[in-house]
Amino acid sequence: MAGMDTEKEPAMPTVLITGIEPFDGESLNPSWEAARRLDGQEVAGARLVARQLPCVIGKVVGVLRQAIEDVQPDLVICLGQAGGRSDVTVERVAINVVDARIPDNDGHQPIDEPVVEGGPAAYFSSLPIKAIVRDLRAGGVPASVSLTAGTYNCNTIFYGLAHFIATERPALRGGFVHVPYLPEMATRHPGAPSLALDVLVHGVKIMVATSLAVTQDIKVGGGALH
């Protein structure tokens, strides 16, 4: 009736999932293959939006920031390839250094440069990393906490995201997760472990659900001796 207050349905949360374009001679990147499979899906009451990021160290943070501005997400989960790792590794800390072992896709190879000039030495993830690992394992996805995101494009993404959150979007939560090769990629790297795409996609859904449900991480062992 006219004049009566009407309650609006609460807006559905939006989760931005990013993956990275292929690099280092590969034709696939498992992070993007998993992310794009989830674009437009609804998981745990949230809408998922996938965006591809470049493997270009000097541009990738700007592309990520623009994606956040466009999508206006409540949560950001950035995925990246970690060939040689045997499980899904949820990154704990991003460091303010680029020390590229190989050139990026624009042919640049920055060495011992900061991600953000004058920025803090490091940032911790704002995802519930240990709860994510717990739930991934319970869901049949091999997973562990990682204490290094490297010093290449992935760490640049992670640090750039964390710096953006700390300085401009304190209500936003986000972090970075590395994933292994896909089986078809591992055939080019004899002895390298891999994880099927369906398992990765299932794992990302778990990451989303856990990150939305858990705001205070659980306190269980997940460290390393070396």
Quick check: helix, strand or coil at residue 17? strand
The per-residue b/e assignment along 136-158, b for 16 or more CB within 10 angstroms, e otherwise, is beebebbbbbbeebbbbbbbbbb
Catalytic site residue 178?
yes
Asked whether the beta carbons of 72 and 132 are under 8 A apart, the reply is no
Quick check: helix, strand or coil at residue 41? coil
Catalytic residue among 42, 154, 163, 168: 154
Q: Residue 171: exposed, middle, or buried by beta-carbon count in 10 A (0-12, 13-18, 19+)?
A: exposed
Catalytic residue among 178, 189, 202, 226: 178
Catalytic residue among 7, 91, 117, 168: 91
The per-residue b/e assignment along 42-60, b for 16 or more CB within 10 angstroms, e otherwise, is ebeebbbbbbebbbbbebb
Catalytic site residue 78?
no
Catalytic site residue 69?
no
Q: Which residues are catalytic?
A: 91, 154, 178
